Amino acid sequence: EQHPDPWKDIEEHVGRYGAPYFVPEIIDHAEGSYVYTESGRKILDFTSGQMSSTLGHNNPSIVKTIRETIGRLDHLYSGMLSRPSINLCTRIAQVAPDPLNKVIPLTTGSEVNEAAIRMAKTVTGKFEIVSFSRSWHGLTEASAGATYSSARKLGVPGAPGQLAIPTPYEYRPDFVDEQGRLDWRRQLDYGFAMVDAQSVGSLAACIVEPIVSGGGILVPPPGYLAALKEKCRERGMLLIFDEAQTGFGRTGHWFGCQHDGVVPDILTLSKTLGGGLPLAALVTTDEIEQKAHDNGFTFYTSHVNDPLVAAVGCEVMNVIERDDLIQAATDKGRYLHDGLWKLVETHEVVGDARGRGLLQGIEIVKDKQGKERSERIGDLITKRCYELGLHMNIVCLPGMGGVFRIAPPLTVSYEELDSGLSILDQAIGDVEK
Ligand code: PMP
């Protein structure tokens, strides 16, 4: 039975989990690039849900796949394989860059990073994990240990074996060359000098997002990921790329790392793989998988190889290919980026626009000259956008500044992009007044 006032039920029964921003209306249904509220409002979803619905909400092909699968296959014992999960592994291995070839299907981003970290420890026999100062890899124990933009900021203590290096941030460089631009080589050398100084000699892996998303939409400078891989190689560490958000076409390649031509030892996929359903996958080489197995690698959680979501994952890849969504992400991403640059040119509080494909961001500042961060202005813009029918969120946490992540589904239309850009323009203008 539905209570006439859902907010009363929410207050009484819905536990709080630290979400940074609550939408002030109840959502009734979602379709394509929009969510629809119970009160009948239509809200443009520029976060693709929690960054996962890259095919748009309730994509008809995904709904059809679920209807065709459920009733025949739902969930199975962890040691029982079915065609959908076998196909999922095979399809992912086909699109993943060589020599990545072995796939373990899991459920969420935190979980798959947990598995990747465990695999790296199992293979190297070491325990220290290096991650980035603005990273987000999840909120379970090991994934949160590698997550600096949340756990640390929120006061959760780290543990021995968790080391961090600075994230390259071209708009706010901490190491500069003679022209005042980011000197990422010096920054990386510094980061690894600190790692070497702090390490107890047990470096297992380094984990990184090929575009740092939750930490502020930070695209690595050309050559950076290759240099990072070299640093890992020199130390016998494995390199893990977390492509929760950058995987499956969003940045204009199947995987974000393909822009840089760098292949990790372990690739973790989640969010975008399930097109809105909980599905993740660990991808690695034959050699590492063999070594992990030989060393007793164990990671089976309740939904490993589940067939229903595996069928969805296969269909996500089919739709990406059928509808040419990787090219769409490139073309629409360029269009969106140009629109966002116009906001930089016309508004004093928009300091920068950056991103790749349909993973874009704008940085909110008090003024362009001083580049001082302003969470307050960001919050006001978020609220005004929502009132005008656009959902967006700020990705940086308290103290880290206000960056809007703009990541509509790959199926977004140019009209919807125009509509979102014009709401954003109006909302920023209203807040500036
Ligand atoms: N990795 C990245 C890059 C993410 O953005 C997130 C979620 N924000 C995660 C991992 C964690 O995924 P999940 O929330 O599904 O556990």
Predicted pLDDT of residue 267: 99
Q: Which atom of ligand 1 is nearest to the CA of 270?
A: 15
> For 9-34, what is each residue's pLDDT tens digit?
989 999 988 777 778 899 999 999 99
Answer yes or no: is the C-beta of 244 below 6 A from any ligand 1 atom: yes
Q: How are beta strands 128-132 and 203-208 bridged, if at all?
A: parallel
Answer yes or no: is the C-beta of 242 below 6 A from any ligand 1 atom: yes
Residue 137 Cα to ligand 1 midpoint, Å, equals 5
Instruction: Give the residue numbers marked as catalytic.
Output: 136, 209, 242, 245, 271, 405
H or E stretch including 24? none
Cα separation, 417 vs 396, whole angstroms: 23
Q: Which atom of ligand 1 is nearest to the CA of 110?
A: 16
How far from 331 is each of 205, 220, 242, CA to CA, in Å? 35, 21, 24
Q: How are beta strands 350-356 and 359-364 bridged, if at all?
A: antiparallel
Q: Which atom of ligand 1 is nearest to the CA of 140?
A: 16
Residue 433 Cα to ligand 1 midpoint, Å, equals 36
Answer yes or no: is the C-beta of 132 below 6 A from any ligand 1 atom: no
- CA dihedral of 208, 326, 360, 18, whole degrees rounded to 10: -60
Cα separation, 286 vs 292, whole angstroms: 10
CB 192 within 8 A of CB 231: yes
Q: In terms of Cα–Cα distance, which of 327, 326, 355 is closest to 341?
A: 355
Q: Given CA atoms 20, 23, 29, 32 in this order, what sign does their dihedral have?
A: negative
Q: In terms of Cα–Cα distance, which of 240, 236, 227, 215 is closest to 188?
A: 227
| Residue 420 token pair | 């979102």
With a cut of 70, list the residues of the chain below it in pLDDT. Answer: 1-3, 149-157, 397-400
Answer yes or no: is the C-beta of 209 below 6 A from any ligand 1 atom: yes
Q: What is the CA radius of gyration of the chain?
A: 21
Q: How far from chain centre, in Å, is Cα 111?
A: 14
Q: Which atom of ligand 1 is nearest to the CA of 111?
A: 16
Residue 299 neighbours by CB under 8 Å, 6+ apart: 104, 106, 114, 115, 118, 119
Domains and CATH numbers, the chain: 6-59+324-432 (3.90.1150.10), 70-322 (3.40.640.10)
Complex ipTM: 0.99
Cα separation, 344 vs 362, whole angstroms: 8
Answer yes or no: is the C-beta of 360 below 6 A from any ligand 1 atom: no
Residue 40 Cα to ligand 1 midpoint, Å, equals 31
Task: Tell me the pTM.
Answer: 0.97
Half-sphere exposure of 162 (CA within 13 A, CB side): 18
Answer yes or no: is the C-beta of 247 below 6 A from any ligand 1 atom: no
Tell me the one-letter amino acid at 71: G
Strand ranges for 187-339 from DSSP E = 203-208, 238-242, 266-269, 280-285
CB 109 within 8 A of CB 244: yes
Residue 341 Cα to ligand 1 midpoint, Å, equals 28
Answer yes or no: is the C-beta of 420 below 6 A from any ligand 1 atom: no
Burial code of 387-403, b = ≥16 C-beta within 10 A, e = fewer? ebebbbbbbbbeebbbb
Predicted pLDDT of residue 399: 62
Tell me the one-letter amino acid at 273: L
Alpha carbon nearest to ligand 1 atom 13, residue: 109
Alpha carbon nearest to ligand 1 atom 12, residue: 109
Burial class of residue 359 (count of CB atoms within 10 Å of its CB; 0-12, 13-18, 19+) = buried
- Provide the total of helices (H) and of strands (E) in the chain, helices listed first: 13, 15
Residue 279 Cα to ligand 1 midpoint, Å, equals 12
Answer yes or no: is the C-beta of 245 below 6 A from any ligand 1 atom: yes
Angle of the 325-346 helix axis to the 414-432 helix axis, nearest 10: 20
Cα separation, 281 vs 66, whole angstroms: 19
Predicted pLDDT of residue 23: 86
